[in-house]
Amino acid sequence: MGYIIYNGYNSSDDLIITRPLIRPTWGAEINEITRPGAPRKLMQVSKSYANEQMTIEAALFDATPERVRKVYQALSGHGQLVLSSAPDEILTAYIRPLIPEAVALQTAVYAASVTLMPFAYAAEPTVATVGTSYTTITNSGTVYSAPEIRLTPSAAGEIVIDTNGSAFTLTIPAELVSKELIIDSDAEVTYYMDGEDKVSVNYRTKGSYPLLHMGDNYIKYSGSVTGTVTINVRERWL
């Protein structure tokens, strides 16, 4: 009935999935607002999305202590999940086993509750090059995306990312020249790597972080850079 991949672990060697793996979908939260004197409540659609739940049910091929321990170590906690029913999507998940490990050893059964955070992301990133004149970037997802943009300044001054007419400005001092800067619109942080550490340069930015609507978007940059400016579209689905 399929398999799951969790943080690189593939369940195929250890588990027989006994319940269909159906990815839930996310819907925007709807709030009811009571207005004094009004006969009806006002329905307000939130811009946030709640987590969704699913359950994994499986049988162990061979319930040895080593195999059970391996499964419980691999399928628990936070991680990145891929379902065989949607192999092109990556889900951010939290897995909590529902059966104690000792019981699984006796019954050869594994079950877990899975909390899925919004949204489903593309397993293979869509990366494109941004030019100094408008480049068409297509977001094939079912909700707006928060892209990642990478660039390396070649001189002090300003670099402007223009997305659908909205400007995001980086003021580059001499000490940031030749450092690769990463604009993470999802986290709303701009940084460079110093070894394994992320060093924020948010104080050098101005304007709203770039967002991509569903369908075609238009993006360009101005300023001095070395090499190419790239954008990871980060499509996502409800």
- pLDDT tens-place string over residues 60-75: 998 899 999 999 999 9
- pLDDT tens-place string over residues 102-112: 999 999 999 99
Residue span(s) of the chain under CATH 2.60.120.860 come to: 127-237
Name which CATH class applies to 4-122.
Answer: mainly beta
Residues 172-180, mean pLDDT to the nearest whole number: 96
Structure confidence at residue 48 as a pLDDT band (50, 70, 90): confident
Position 44 pLDDT exceeds 60: no
Return the percentage of the chain with pLDDT > 70, whole number.
Answer: 92
Position 41 pLDDT exceeds 70: no
Q: What is the mean pLDDT of the chain?
A: 92
Structure confidence at residue 49 as a pLDDT band (50, 70, 90): confident
Q: What is the pTM (predicted TM-score) of this model?
A: 0.77
- pLDDT tens-place string over residues 100-154: 999 999 999 999 999 999 999 998 999 999 999 999 999 999 989 999 999 999 9
pLDDT of res. 177? 96
Residue span(s) of the chain under CATH 2.40.30.200 come to: 4-122
H helices of 20-178, where?
65-74, 101-107
Dist. CA 41–CA 102, nearest whole Å: 51
Q: For the domain 127-237, what is the CATH code?
A: 2.60.120.860
Phi-psi region of 157 (alpha: psi -120 to 50; beta: other; left: phi over 0): left
pLDDT of res. 146? 95
Beta carbons within 8 Å of 187's beta carbon, 6+ residues apart? none
Output the CA–CA distances (angstroms, integers) from residue 50 to 3, 16, 117, 136, in the order listed. Answer: 25, 30, 7, 31
Return the percentage of the chain with pLDDT > 90, whole number.
Answer: 82
